[in-house]
Amino acid sequence: MNPAPETCPSSVTTPKPAELRNFLDLCREFLALFTEENQALRRPESMSLAVFTAERKRLLPRLESGLMALRGFRQGWERMPAGQRESCGEIRHLFGDIQNLFPRLLLLDRENQQEMLRRGLLPATNLPPAASQRPHFVAGLYRRHAAV
């Protein structure tokens, strides 16, 4: 007998929709912060980034703990049989929303860092590693590992 569409088996590693929604809300907070920071950086007048830095420092511990929990949830999710995962539509959609939002966060944060570097608002020690400056670095990694 198949479980009802909204019924999902529960275990310690099975994500709860509320936990995933909380993480998605946190990602949205970061998106709002990064968007506001980006808009401030695009203005010609100089401004202080202390507000953004303080907010980022406030949110980062939550993001770090949320990512660790998300990793555990994802592993539990992947261990579930496909039929059980299909019955958990909300969780599948939440994972998809998080997966779609996270690259946007990383891209916007990177744009902000580059703009801060251009303006001299960040010390050069904050430059990303040289490997991340190569435009097709990740694609090359995938190609190399796919050939193995």
pLDDT number for residue 5 = 43
Name residue, tokens 């939440």. Answer: 94
Mean pLDDT of 87-108: 90
- Lowest-confidence region among 82-86, 122-126, 131-135: 131-135
pLDDT of 6 higher than 60: no
Q: Per the domain annotation, does 107 fall within a domain?
A: yes
CA–CA distance from 41 to each of 37, 52, 60 (Å)? Answer: 6, 11, 21
pLDDT at 127: 61
Task: Reply yes or no on whether the pLDDT at 28 is more than 90.
Answer: yes
- Give pLDDT, residue 139: 74
110 backbone dihedrals φ, ψ, rounded to 5°? -65, -45
Residue 96 has pLDDT above 60, yes or no: yes
Pick from 27, 25, 31, 28: nearest CA to 108: 31
Q: Is the pLDDT of residue 117 over 70?
A: yes
Q: Dig out the tokens for 117 from the structure.
A: 């570097």
CA separation for the pair 10, 32 (Å, rounded): 33
State how many domains the chain has: 1
In a domain, 69, yes or no: yes
24 lies in some domain = yes
Each residue of 31-90: pLDDT tens digit? 999 999 999 988 887 777 888 889 999 999 999 999 999 888 888 888 888 888 888 888
Length of the chain as a residue count? 148
Does the residue 8 lie in any domain? no
Residue 37's domain comprises: 17-147
Query: Mean pLDDT over all residues of the chain?
Result: 81
